[in-house]
Homo-oligomer: A and B are copies of this chain.
C-alpha cells in the first residue's frame, strides 16, 4: 500500500480486514482518542486530516488538524508537549483512531496546562448538573 489511503470496502472488509482504509468525514477529518502509552490515561481528543495522518505515520510524531485555526498542527511545536506515537489503532468501522503516545515536555497534553483535557467530571443530579475539577 502506498499513501494516500485506499477507499473503504465492504462492511466485512472494514471490520474484519487487514487493510487500513480510514474513513474521513465530510470535512475530511477523522477523530483521534489520545492516551498516555505509559498508563492508558485518556489525555485528549483531536482530529486529523489525511495529511496529518500521513505525517504521523511517516514521522512517528503526532500531527493533527486544528479545526479552530484551520491548519495542520504538529503538537508540541510551541508547548514542548511533542507526542511520540507508540501505537495507532482503529475501531471496527475505521472512523476513529486510538493513539498511544509518550508526551514530551512536562508530560501533559492540554493547552490549559493540565495533563489531560478531561479535568472535570459531572456531579449532581439530573436537575443540578455541575462540573467539578478533578484531575484524576
Query: Considering the chains assembled together, what is the distance between the CA atoms of A126 and B88 in angstroms?
Result: 13
Asked if A71 is at the interface (CB within 8 A of a chain B CB), the reply is no
Cα–Cα, bound, A57→B131 (Å):
13
**A 47-90 binary contact with B (CB < 8 Å = 1; else 0):** 00000001001100000000000000000000000000001111
Residues of B contacting A114 with CB < 8 Å?
Answer: 92
Asked if A31 is an interface residue, CB under 8 A from chain B, the answer is yes
Q: Is A101 an interface residue (CB 8 A)?
A: no
Task: Tell me which residues across on chain B come within 8 A of A54, comparing CB atoms.
Answer: 126
* Docked-complex contact A122 and B90, CB < 8 angstroms: yes
Chain B residues, CB < 8 A from A87 = 121-122
Q: Cβ of A1 < 8 Å from any Cβ of B?
A: yes
A44→B42 CA distance, assembly (Å):
13
Alpha-carbon gap, A112 to B128, bound state (A): 37
List residues of chain B with CB within 8 A of the CB of A92.
110-112, 114, 117, 119
Kindly state whether residue A127 has any CB partner on chain B within 8 Å.
yes
- 4 tightest A-B contacts by CB? A91-B117, A89-B118, A88-B122, A45-B96
